[in-house]
């Protein structure tokens, strides 16, 4: 069935891949809202409608788009730990208050909401062998560790959506993304930059510029990485199964791609050599979490996701760890000159918060 899909936060990493995926399939009308369409630039312009707007300042645009949609996908969030510790109230306002407002508009106009949440809602729980949507407990650090405002805000949003679902006034599906990886992930940074984008972008920047690869707290924590194409296919499964996904929460990740951050660094060094035939120009340097992200940072050693629930709807991740990172790295190596020119054009790359607060990032 042909539907109108409104994607709020379509200009980020996850959103731009979602738009590309939907345009490839060509089944639906795609309407995008974001501050910027930089990452959408290579896509066919006639395939989608783009509204350049800051959802915080353009409630009329948001309401009009939601009113006309059949399905609303909400990707809007700051997803950068530096911001959690330096601007926690901005995180609360955007990630919780603003998203609640979007959910209220979906209720008011009777629209299905697909809300992107985060694997962070499990916090630092280590209970069990993997994180299960409906069985795992969540454990967070002390309030003084401001980092947790992101996770707690996301969890509260889920709890409120769930309550509205139970009350019968909202139809929703919540997606908990586990470390999606692909091209267009965040932005590159100058050598030695700390606390900016997510780990893949940091490591890729180091490989392209010869800067150090920083291992935060020794890179001992685990993450399970998912190829962005597998993430697109998960989204499609949820989109296509409105009844079975109704008022449900799904982990979207690949438990088979579980590694420590140190192992990831070694893998990316190896892949760089295999893909370019050159020796990787960077060294591994250990830094503390507070040094890298700022006071109030605390990390979690994350368990891999239990994906039984989404598998029961027919989805399964297909790309292994090597393929996932080789594909993402190949994009940057093929576009090396353009990517480095973009980085140089930013001058001396601004600090993480200045830059990030001007962008709406997709959660992951």
Interface region with ligand UDP, contact rule CB under 6 A, candidates 11-19, 166-174, 195-203, 231-239:
195-203
For 192-244, give the DSSP string.
Answer: T--S-S-HHHHHHHHHHHT--EEEEGGG-SEEE-EEHHHHHHHHHHHHH-TTT
Smallest Cα–Cα separation from 116: which of 34, 31, 174? 174
Interface region with ligand UDP, contact rule CB under 6 A, candidates 46-54, 219-227, 229-237, 244-252:
219-227
For residues 245 and 221, the answer to whether their CB atoms sit within 8 Å is: no
261 binds ligand UDP (CB under 6 A): yes
Q: Of 179 and 237, which has the nearer Cβ to ligand UDP? A: 179
219 binds ligand UDP (CB under 6 A): yes
Q: Measured from the CB of residue 10, what is the shortest distance to ligand UDP in angstroms?
A: 21
Interface region with ligand UDP, contact rule CB under 6 A, candidates 40-48, 212-220, 235-243, 346-354:
212-220
176 binds ligand UDP (CB under 6 A): no
Interface region with ligand UDP, contact rule CB under 6 A, candidates 155-163, 196-204, 309-317, 323-331:
196-204
207 binds ligand UDP (CB under 6 A): no
Residue 131, helix vs strand vs coil: strand
What number of other Cβ atoms are within 10 A of residue 62's Cβ? 24
| From 150, 187, 293, 332, active-site residue | 150
319 binds ligand UDP (CB under 6 A): no
What number of other Cβ atoms are within 10 A of residue 335's Cβ? 13
What would the two tokens of residue 236 be? Answer: 């499609």
- Residues contacting residue 135 through CB under 8 Å, at least 6 positions apart: 128
Q: Measured from the CB of residue 196, what is the shortest distance to ligand UDP in angstroms?
A: 8
For residues 123 and 137, the answer to whether their CB atoms sit within 8 Å is: no
215 binds ligand UDP (CB under 6 A): yes
Smallest Cα–Cα separation from 262: which of 234, 247, 233, 284? 284
What would the two tokens of residue 137 be? Answer: 């407990």
Is 150 a residue of the active site? yes
What would the two tokens of residue 112 be? Answer: 């299905």
Q: Out of 17, 39, 147, 198, name the contact with ligand UDP by CB under 6 A.
A: 198
101 binds ligand UDP (CB under 6 A): no
Residue 70, helix vs strand vs coil: coil
286 binds ligand UDP (CB under 6 A): no
Q: Measured from the CB of residue 31, what is the shortest distance to ligand UDP in angstroms?
A: 28
209 binds ligand UDP (CB under 6 A): no
Residues that bind ligand UDP in the complex, under the rule CB under 6 A: 81, 179, 198-199, 202, 214-216, 219, 221, 223, 261, 299
């Amino acid at each position: 069935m042909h539907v109108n899909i409104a994607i709020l936060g379509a200009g980020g990493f996850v959103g731009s891949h979602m738009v590309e995926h939907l345009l490839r399939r060509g089944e639906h009308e795609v309407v995008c809202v974001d501050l910027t369409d930089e990452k959408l630039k290579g896509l066919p312009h006639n395939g989608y409608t783009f509204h350049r707007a800051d959802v915080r300042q353009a409630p009329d645009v948001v309401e009009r788009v939601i009113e006309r949609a059949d399905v609303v996908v909400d990707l809007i969030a700051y997803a950068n730990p530096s911001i959690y510790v330096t601007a926690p109230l901005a995180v609360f306002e955007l990630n919780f208050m603003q998203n609640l407002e979007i959910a209220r508009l979906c209720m008011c106009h009777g629209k299905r909401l697909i809300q992107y949440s985060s694997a962070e809602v499990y916090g630092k729980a280590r209970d069990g062998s993997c994180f299960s949507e409906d069985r795992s407990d969540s454990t967070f650090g002390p309030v003084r560790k401001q980092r947790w405002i992101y996770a707690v805000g996301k969890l509260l949003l889920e709890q409120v959506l769930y309550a509205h679902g139970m009350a019968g006034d909202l139809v929703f599906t919540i997606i908990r993304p586990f470390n999606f990886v692909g091209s267009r992930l965040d932005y590159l940074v100058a050598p030695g930059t700390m606390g900016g984008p997510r780990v893949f972008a940091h490591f890729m920047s180091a490989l392209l510029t010869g800067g150090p690869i920083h291992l935060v707290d020794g890179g001992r924590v685990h993450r399970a990485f998912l190829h962005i194409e597998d993430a697109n296919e998960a989204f499609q499964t949820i989109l296509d199964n409105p009844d079975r996904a109704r008022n449900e929460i799904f982990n979207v990740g690949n438990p088979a791609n579980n590694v420590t951050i140190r192992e990831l660094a070694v893998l990316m060094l190896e892949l760089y050599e295999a893909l370019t035939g050159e020796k990787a120009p960077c060294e591994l340097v250990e830094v503390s979490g507070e040094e890298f992200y700022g006071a109030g940072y605390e990390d979690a050693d994350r368990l891999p996701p239990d994906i039984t629930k989404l598998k029961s709807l027919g989805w399964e991740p297909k790309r292994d760890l090597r393929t996932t990172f080789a594909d993402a790295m190949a994009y940057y190596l093929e576009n090396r000159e353009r990517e480095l020119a973009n980085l140089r054009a930013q001058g001396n790359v601004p600090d993480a918060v200045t830059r990030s607060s001007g962008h709406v990032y997709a959660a992951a």
